[in-house]
Structure 1
């Protein structure tokens, strides 16, 4: 997503109140919507990304999930599928992929941004992945416990999203 692409800004009820550029959203730390996809393999390990150093948010940190900012007017499911394909080369519509929507949740950040809304997904597959070199320096699969041990080097929102995804997936008996 370029700095000039449009992002919907939301209120505490997840209602769109205005649309601004991504650059303004980042600069003013405005509440927005994002998609989060936990990618789990058959061994029960989760894909972790290493963010490139040129990212506008949390460069160089780990991401416990695949995902990103939902663009203005973009369908939430399509945003998640786009992010999965762009970042790690997995087409969620393939029959080798279980793709589950788990709803949204309010995510409270550690920064000046008080909150934003995350749309949560679980993808299960053993497909071989590739990374988007402009955004992802590397990828690896780790057990959940190891991801939690790395939480100080991992984006706060991705850990919060992963915890909620795992909770909801277990409730639905998807994990």
Structure 2
């Protein structure tokens, strides 16, 4: 597999429900994931307010993992690679609802099964933090990722993904989730 070409990057502005909606209201949570207030997404990012996110590892019918490069227009980690689809959990939204919504939006499909919840962890780095619920889903449908969200995509075997970890620049929260996922698979009881 060759290195993905950046020339197919989308330049369309993102609208409601897509990755650049800085005015979307998010629940702000404490270190125990209890809601303590609300804030627009852009302000939450700018001020480093802790919020909630859903991370979904999507596999095709052959068990390969959906990998993508984020567009340059994303508010967080633009143009970096990720092995998860997902995004923020909206105000009053459950992690499960957000996981299905985000997976269908980013993969460009409808009718996915409900993603399977695996574990939750608090990601914190560089003055930012969010509770991250990790899910897995099988997508047997042809994907048509949103051009406003995904600049490049492909399905990689786990071995191909492991080889790319040292070659491509990945989202740090995605890497943290992936490392925790590997540990979870070794010992699901924790």
What is the TM-score normalised by the length of structure 1?
0.85
Match of 2:120 in 1: 104
Distance 2:100 2:183 in 1: 21
Match of 2:141 in 1: 127
Distance 2:123 2:103 in 1: 20
RMSD: 2.1
Aligned partners of 1:98 and 1:125 also within 8 Å? no
Distance 1:54 1:88 in 2: 18
Matched position secondary structure for 1:20? strand
Matched position secondary structure for 1:23? helix
Shift of 1:167: 4.2
Does 2:72 align with 1:48? no
Distance 1:88 1:166 in 2: 23
Matching residue within 76, 79, 84 for 2:103: 84
Match of 1:15 in 2: 34
Aligned partners of 1:122 and 1:165 also within 8 Å? no
Q: Which moves more between the two structures, 38-47 or 129-138?
A: 38-47
Shift of 1:90: 3.0
Match of 1:137 in 2: 151
Distance 1:170 1:40 in 2: 19
Distance 2:35 2:120 in 1: 15
| Distance verdict in 2 for CA 1:98–1:69, change over 3 Å | closer
Distance 2:137 2:28 in 1: 27
Matched position secondary structure for 1:108? strand
Matched position secondary structure for 1:140? strand
Q: How many equivalent pairs are there?
A: 167
